[in-house]
Chains A and B, each alone.
Chain A
Amino acid sequence: MIAIGFEGSANKIGIGILEHTASGEAVVLANVRRTYITPPGQGFLPKDTAVHHRQHVLALVKEALAVAKIKPSQIDCICFTKGPGMAAPLISVALVARTLSLIWKKPLVGVNHAIGHIEMGRMITGAQNPIVLYVSGGNTQVIAYSEKRYRIFGEAIDIAVGNCLDRFARIVGLPNDPAPGYNVEQCAKRGKTFVELPYGVKGMDVSFSGILTFIESVAEDKLKKGLVTVDDLCYSLQETLFAMLVEITERAMAHVGSSEVLIVGGVGSNVRLQEMMESMVKDRGGRLFATDERFCIDNGLMIAQAGALMYATGIVTELENTNCTQRYRTDDVYVAWRE
């Protein structure tokens, strides 16, 4: 079975093509992507992001088909991100998926973006039943599978951890190329002075906006006075944010009795986060699973993977129900494809 997946919920537009062979193997046929990068100090707004996606999506479809060396007739299902995410970018990509569905006469499968990340992580790493830490610019959730649902055990109550890192990068003028969080990570490696920041764990949940406000005032004060460097602040911010994430992940592991952790989402490509998580997981006699930037940063292949699993259980999304939704809870989806 061959699935094509369309992803464009934030500033990445990606198309992936995947084959599930008769012997149960998942083969990557194509995974192409473009990223909308704004100048330093600026975030990406929905309207401009949608313009970017509209400019690239059709060429990416052609590129994906060419890389996969397949014709549209060989595709079994067209998978696309239904939500969550930004409305105009989501709709732009969904319109192309819907149009191709009618032209090529193939069924559509509307996929939850978070579940795309989870299923891609499971497929690439082989992790069986891990606690999943989903961390990105738009989402921060601790998830565990139980009885046909990916249940949210804990989450950010205000802004996502990636959003906190990205906005901090903008405050200190770090470039957005290739991603603001990547540049924060590189600066953090050179940090020497640890600046104490508020710690925002609230039971199973985390809060980041207070830390952002605080570090903004530190930047106005100590940074301007030359008492700390940007590297020091990046280092301090990462250590604090990641310690919080490790804590709530550990709490979920204890609740569920799991010894596996899988990190997905763009922030999952951060090596320091992986180090800190692995340290905790190893202390508990467990195993950490993580993927590289091809798969943990938003991509079309993850949508194809989750969509293919859904399609294999008979799920299709009728055209009238392919509307995009900015809010779409991970636990709203009935996970028919797992025990």
Chain B
Amino acid sequence: MDIQLHTDEQLMVAIAQGCMAEFGELVTRHQEKVFFLALRTLGQWDIAEDISQEAFLRVYHAANSYHPHAKFTTWLYRIVVNLCLDQKRKTKRAYTAISEQTEQLESNTEGDPANILQVKENKQVVWKAMEKLSKRERIVVVLHRFHGLSHAEVADTTGWSLSAVESLMVRSYRKLREELKKFGDFEK
């Protein structure tokens, strides 16, 4: 059977037996999500890359003891979240830098240069607003907004209580609303 058709859990069983091809498939499948979770949480490209690598190394080394009692991504994202929380904030400047270096991130926009410019500007505005949130607030927003998790799933993933996640979520979206209001025509 083609390994691309295997579930994450089936891949983990094979990885525990030392199969590197299955591990490669698992990394390919999740690397972008993992990287963006770290990048949007920390705002630092190089550190996000390091954290993503470390997360997959931990997955590899924990394959033997892995028991699927939750979705694989819940476990994987928990590893990334914990690594992000452990990561000491280097400088606030670094987070700002990502809002100025968004050319590192290509966008899925085509054609109209005005549209491309608008998208780029909007992106910078959003990065700057995200910068105002605490790390935990960012984690909650990133998981909820960009990883498609409900607030209950965010609680499962982070291991934080439902009420803690709820208040973090309410607070962070309110902060974002205030921050984004400052930029007036962001509705375009």
| A and B interact | no
Residues of B within 8 A of A (CB): none
